[in-house]
Structure 1
């Protein structure tokens, strides 16, 4: 089969290679999936760059995929499946290849009303948003939720999940050019945090109380900003820190508000764990409440290094997808 592979970590332009490798052979408790489409996530790029100490080399990267089962139990052959996992591309070969082996327990049939290419956009972004808002944040109907970094893939997924849950959804961006995209994704309001009155605007939008839940997909200086617009007894969920790794905040104010701070790491979910969450989200996709994420650009696998560079530069916004045929 053909695949992208790296034997050492570093700049993807130099360490990521397009190679011909032996087809993987599934064990008795595994299936072989012919990958149709795979997305490139920021974590895939970080993996190649060397950010994850647990990565075993050499390794095929890629967490998200959609494809067709070609080997396995008879009742799985020909099934169109989707998947993702924090172990994929780290301790087991990933999806940026023509074939991938996954546990039988991780087989999840994609919704019939979305294409394989669209199904491959879901993975990391939706799993992270669901794990944050539903599994850990316990978002409730009629609560208010602020999504910091709402224009990103995880942010867009979070908007749709929060709306489906019946929450009032407030998105934030740091550039006005993304505000309409966030509104189109389903936010009730979108606020530009670069505006000097952004905090007051957010508080006004929550009737002066702050939001019941703040989902911070950015971190850094936005971390303390999120706490300042969090309601009493609110929950702040954090999945990243794209700037400074260390932050400061008013601890006295924090405990007087009886606030909760929750960290989320989707990398802790293996293929089977993530498959269980995809099954929980299936009805949302089948009903149309959840929509696949927008695709910015398509690349054939043989141009995978170019695709990584384009994704790193984020020149168009949206997902960068690899097609295996």
Structure 2
């Protein structure tokens, strides 16, 4: 029998998660069945959406139940196969979650080619975050040459790809990030036209100066105070793909402040705004093959760059996840498990 070390949801967090909300345990996996592959996890992706899965609130996906393994995309090595399509030693993309080993149907995994790109990129720039940026920006944002695209969390895996793809499509890219180091990376290494520190005391004034002709596309990753600064600068017919609301993920309850919804609706009407929430899975059938082709080519050409924040050891996943929600990461957070 194969043992798997795993991290489960010990309790549903109220507000920000704490280490006490997770528990590490070891279990024996059942015998491999026909059509399955046995996987050893190499890399685990940590992503903001996981905070929503820790809650019992109704959402686009079922929550993780207490005592169940935390969900997450993985890159894994096949160590045993009972499926003709996979052999021992193959490297695959899976959705095994926070654990060292898993037995899954072969139909649920995708084979990776380690010679084409580092396999960890299947969790970032060539995976869900990269595709989120590609599909949301091109399908909903539809940037045109000369327009201005603004994206928050611009040093992260989604935001960094959004700005670079906007530039590839001929638009101006303005990134919003936390701290001078991240802003320097966004502008100097990723090639954004401007990078604004949302922690700066004059953030609102800096943002206004960076978009003298207004904002045509705002890729929403954050909400909160960043969105408050952006929305007054949106041009008529601006498009807003709503990808994430990380500023609100740790909220403990309903906001009891002033109801700003009427003013928000008024801005949508007056400026003829298009605001569209999306989950990247809805565009997979239509756009994923184009994404892999385009993104792989852009990486090879040096036009699409990425940064990974590697964490060593599955046992450090809870701490890294909590830090990511607080903005302590720098790039795509990946746990090296194996």
TM-score band, normalised by the shorter chain?
Answer: 0.7 to 0.9
Which one of 158, 162, 165 corresponds to residue 162 of structure 2? 158
Given that residues 44 and 98 in structure 2 are in contact (C-alpha distance below 8 angstroms), is that contact kept between their aligned partners in structure 1?
yes
Change (3 A) 1:160 1:175: same
Which one of 225, 228, 232 corresponds to residue 229 of structure 2? 225
* Structure 1: runs of 5+ lacking an equivalent: none
Q: Matched residue of 2:195: which SS?
A: strand
TM-score w.r.t. length of structure 2: 0.75
| In 2, Cα distance between equivalents of 1:226 and 1:108 | 41
Given that residues 216 and 226 in structure 1 are in contact (C-alpha distance below 8 angstroms), is that contact kept between their aligned partners in structure 2?
no
* Structure 2: runs of 5+ lacking an equivalent: none
Superposition pairs for residues 261-300 of structure 1, below 5 Å? Answer: 261-266=275-280, 279-280=292-293, 281-295=295-309, 297-300=310-313
TM-score w.r.t. length of structure 1: 0.77
Given that residues 145 and 211 in structure 1 are in contact (C-alpha distance below 8 angstroms), is that contact kept between their aligned partners in structure 2?
yes
Give deviations 1:219-254, integer Å, cap 9, x for gaps: 123334333222222201222331487754454443
Report the alpha carbon displacement of residue 271 of structure 1 after superposing the two structures with TM. Answer: 9.3
Matching of residue 185 in structure 1 with residue 190 in structure 2: yes
Which one of 81, 86, 104 corresponds to residue 76 of structure 1? 86
Residue correspondences, number: 311
Superposition pairs for residues 195-214 of structure 1, below 5 Å? Answer: 195=202, 196-204=204-212, 208=213, 210-214=214-218
Q: Identify which of structures 1 and 2 has the higher relative contact order when contacts are C-alpha pairs closer than 8 Å and 6+ apart.
A: 1
Report the alpha carbon displacement of residue 200 of structure 1 after superposing the two structures with TM. Answer: 3.2
Given that residues 43 and 74 in structure 2 are in contact (C-alpha distance below 8 angstroms), is that contact kept between their aligned partners in structure 1?
yes
Q: Matched residue of 1:217: which SS?
A: coil
Change (3 A) 1:105 1:228: same
Computed over aligned residues only, the root mean square deviation of the Cα atoms, in angstroms, reads 3.6
Report the alpha carbon displacement of residue 260 of structure 1 after superposing the two structures with TM. Answer: 0.9
Report the alpha carbon displacement of residue 215 of structure 1 after superposing the two structures with TM. Answer: 0.9
Report the alpha carbon displacement of residue 114 of structure 1 after superposing the two structures with TM. Answer: 2.7
Report the alpha carbon displacement of residue 66 of structure 1 after superposing the two structures with TM. Answer: 1.7
| In 1, Cα distance between equivalents of 2:326 and 2:177 | 18
Q: Matched residue of 2:227: which SS?
A: helix
| In 2, Cα distance between equivalents of 1:64 and 1:35 | 10
Which one of 3, 9, 16 corresponds to residue 6 of structure 1? 9
Q: Matched residue of 1:2: which SS?
A: strand
| In 2, Cα distance between equivalents of 1:45 and 1:277 | 30
Q: Matched residue of 1:197: which SS?
A: helix
Give deviations 1:252-297, integer Å, cap 9, x for gaps: 443343221111234x5699899757635444344443334331x4
